[in-house]
Amino acid sequence: MHRPTMRRSVPLLTLFLAACATRPEPVAEQPAPVTRPTPARPNANLVGLTAQELVGHFGHPALQIREGTSLKLQFRSLRCVLDAYLYPSEGATGTLRVTYIDTRLPSGAATDQAACISALENPS
């Protein structure tokens, strides 16, 4: 008589214990911290800068060529080359300012200007 009672009570006891057990709290996922990339200076932001401002931003140029009243400054990184062409802003006596930017890979192939500017701003 003892055996049939045990057979019935064991499943009931198991169900009772299972009902009393606590469920683990789901772990709330933490959102990844928002990191904003430093925006590369687009070509439009370099146009109009003086030679002094360019040197202050990129460091000393690898090459500096004067032709008449104009100036070409070349900045290099391992990833690209940037040529900045500066012309007088007001006639032949005005302050030299960037009017055109050209970028390329060291091999001479074309490259994205924003990527090249970023590479020069963040040398590694």
> Does residue 122 carry a pLDDT above 50?
yes
Tell me the β-bridge partners of 97.
Answer: 50, 87
Domain boundaries 43-121, CATH class:
alpha beta
Residue 80: name the closest of 44, 108, 57, 58 by CA.
108
Residue, of 108 and 1, whose pLDDT is higher: 108
pLDDT of 45 reads: 86
pLDDT digits (tens, 9 = 90+) for 71-100: 999 999 999 999 999 999 876 668 999 999
Secondary structure (3-state) at 23: coil
pLDDT of 88 reads: 93
Which positions ≥6 away from 70 have C-beta within 8 Å? 85, 86, 87, 88, 96
pLDDT digits (tens, 9 = 90+) for 33-69: 554 444 444 455 899 999 999 999 999 999 999 999 9
Which residue ranges make up each domain of the chain?
A: 43-121
